[in-house]
Every structure is written in structure tokens, then in C-alpha cells.
Amino acid sequence: MSNNRIVTSPSERVQALSDSFKDVLNLGQRYVELLDQLAQTKDAKNLLSATTKLAKMDLANAFVDFPPHYKAADYYLIFMDRLLKMHGDTTVNVTESEPDHEFEATVASIGDEAIFKFVIDSRGEAAFTEQSQHEPLFYLSLEDKLMQFNNRALVNYFIVYALKQHTDLELREAVKPMIAFAKYLQKDLDFTIDLGILATENDRRFMLDKPELPLTVIDRLFVATADQDYMLMNLPRNNGAELLLDRGIKLDIAFDPDDYSQEWAFLVKDPDAQVSFFDVLLHYELVRKWYLDDRASLAVRSNHMEIADDDTQQFADVEAAAPALDQDESTESDTADEDSTAKEK
């Protein structure tokens, strides 16, 4: 066996150090340019470009340590903050926390006790996450230009948990900048977005996680409305029921009789197409209690948007696509009562 080994001469070591410094200086210059672009640009596309590059930038070097710098999650939050402010929306306040020097966000209507940060997984997908309950309210992929709300987390955090501390109007104000952010992504940067149960279109069907619904669940809603001012009626084709609320708002729980699958879904209709299923849960105690009591049967499905291998957009089932992050809306909340929250599949 040969005893020969590679010997690195002093001059080669010095040259390696010199080359490393040159690389670091070039990288540092590029890093500074991107930071300036992130902080100063008034163009949404340049903002997205700077954020994406900063989030992927590797500042590690064998010879030179960079000064303390921000993490990818911080750039995502700065991106959100800047895009909102480009449109004059100042309801989200982003500050740098001590002593970890990480950025965090609060929302004006619910105060400083609710703190939000982005949490980035191994796939590079960022989740806008409330820190006390650890609920990922929406997912964001800058590279794939996708943004999607998490139905389960919206119910767990706002309907089950936060409604104990805040009014329905305060919570409605809290989700507005998140919805606005999604729409700015779509309008300014051609993102594909899914508002989930925050969508207000009158023809939007919120499919249940379980395709079949025991009719006893609807019977319980009939009983609950008996001493209320709201009226529940069977639909003409015996495919479900319609609850007549105030201000012309109607909530259907029904299946499409012309669809062979006959999967059950919620449908919210109002004169101005401004009311979402989330709003109904938030504002109407009758519906909220019925929904949470039978959440195992009534949980709204969550799908996970992905870019397929052929670069076409598709929906993949949540548990097949990302079981660690995107469970269906019926997943049990740590904060919900066992009676009102469905167990994880």
C-alpha cells in the first residue's frame, strides 16, 4: 500500500485563503445589493426577486464568518410587510425581536399578544404561523408562485381559540390583511391563490372532508333552529337543507343531485357575494356550535396546491402531498375540546 499523501504547500494555502476572501467579498457585495433591493424597491416583481434570492443565498464560508444576518423566514415576512405597504395597508406591524433578532408580525385589531412568523419546511414552503397555538394559517411558495390558506388552522385558531379572547369583528379585521396580501400576490405577481373558507364567491362549494354525511347531523340543526329567528328548509330536490340567516345570507349544506359522487358541501350565498363560510362560523353562534359539535362529520376539506412535474398546476390530496404540514380541516386542535374537534386520520 502506498504511503503517498497529498501535501498542500503554504503558498497554496495562502492562495486558497485569498480566493476565499475574493469569493466572500463578491458574495457580500451581492448580498448588500439584494438587501437594498428588498428594502427600497417600489416594484413588486423586484421585491419578489430579491426575496427569493435572499432566501436561497448560502453565506457559509470555510475561512470567513459573515456578520449576523437574517434567515429565510425573516425575508418572507419583510416581503409580506413591504407588499402590503406598497398598497397602503399598515394593519400588519413587523418588528425585530430581541435577543434573537428575528422578525415577527402583529395585527392591529387583535393586539400584540398574537405573534406571527413564517416557518419554512425542508421543501422551501413557508407557513405563516401563529406562535402560541402553532397554527399555520396559510402556505406560501415564492418559487412556485402559490399561496393557500389552511382551513383547519383557520378554524382552530380563530373560531376555536381566538374567539374566546376577541370579538367576531376584531377577528374579521385580523384576517383582512391576510386576504389582501393574497389578492396582491395574484394581481401584482400572477400567483395562484386559494382563499379556502375565506372565499366569498356565491358559487364556491366548500367540500366536506368525508363524502357522506349522516342525516342526523342535519336533524340536529333543525332542532337547534326551533327557537331561533332563522329558518331551515329542505332543498327542493331533497339533496340537503338551506338555512336562511339575516341580511339575505343563506347557508346550504347539500350535495349536487346531478353528480354521481353526491359529495356533501357547504355553500354560502349573499346579495353582494361578500360573505364567506369563515364569516358565517365567526358571526353566527348557532352555526358555529352546530359545526364544532359535529366537526368530525362537517369538517371542510383542505387540498394542497402543487406544481406538477410537467410544470402544470394541480391539486393533490393533503395527506398524500404533505402529511406533516397540511392535514385536513378535521385534524384535532390542541386548543379545541375533544367533543368538537375531529381526530387525525
pLDDT for residue 9: 74
Q: What is the DSSP string of 241-299?
A: EEEE-STT-EEEEEE-TTSTT--EEEEEE-TTS---HHHHHHH-HHHHHHHHHTHHHHP
What's the length of the chain?
345
Per-residue cell: 167: 370579538
- The answer to whether the CB of 297 falls within 8 A of the CB of 93 is no
Instruction: Give the residue ranges of DSSP H helices in the chain.
Output: 10-40, 44-56, 72-86, 151-154, 168-189, 215-224, 277-283, 285-293, 295-298, 318-321
Question: Which pLDDT belongs to residue 333?
Answer: 40
Q: How far apart are CA 258 and CA 271, in angstroms?
A: 25
d(CA 330, CA 105): 27
Distance, in Å, from the CA atom of 268 to the CA atom of 280, rounded to the nearest integer, reads 8
Peptide bond into 99 cis (omega under 30): yes
Per-residue pLDDT of the chain (345 residues; tens, 9 = 90+): 444 445 477 777 767 767 766 776 777 788 889 999 999 999 999 999 999 999 988 776 655 666 667 899 999 999 999 999 999 999 999 999 877 789 999 999 999 989 999 999 877 789 999 999 999 999 999 999 999 999 999 999 999 999 999 999 999 999 999 999 999 999 999 999 999 999 999 999 999 999 889 999 999 999 999 888 899 999 988 899 999 999 999 999 999 988 888 899 999 999 999 999 999 999 999 999 999 999 999 999 987 765 444 444 344 343 333 333 344 554 444 444 444 433 333
DSSP run (H or E) holding 93:
strand 92-96
User: What is the spatial order of strands in the sheet that 192-194 belongs to?
Assistant: 92-96, 103-107, 111-120, 126-130, 135-141, 146-149, 192-194
Q: Are 255 and 264 in contact (CB under 8 A)?
A: yes
As a whole number of angstroms, the distance between CA 87 and CA 95 comes to: 19
CA distance 298 to 296: 6
Per-residue confidence (pLDDT) for residue 216, from 0 to 100: 95
**Cβ–Cβ < 8 Å for 150, 331:** no
Output Rg (C-alpha) for the chain, integer angstroms: 25
Q: What angle do helix axes 168-189 and 72-86 make, rounded to 10 degrees? A: 90
Please report which residue ranges of 41-166 form alpha helices under DSSP H. Answer: 44-56, 72-86, 151-154
pTM > 0.85: yes or no: no
Which pLDDT score, from 0 to 100, does residue 339 have? Answer: 43
User: Hey, which residues does 96 pair with through a beta bridge?
Assistant: 103
Q: How many CA atoms within 13 Å lie on the side-chain side of 149?
A: 24
Helical (H) or strand (E) element with 196: none
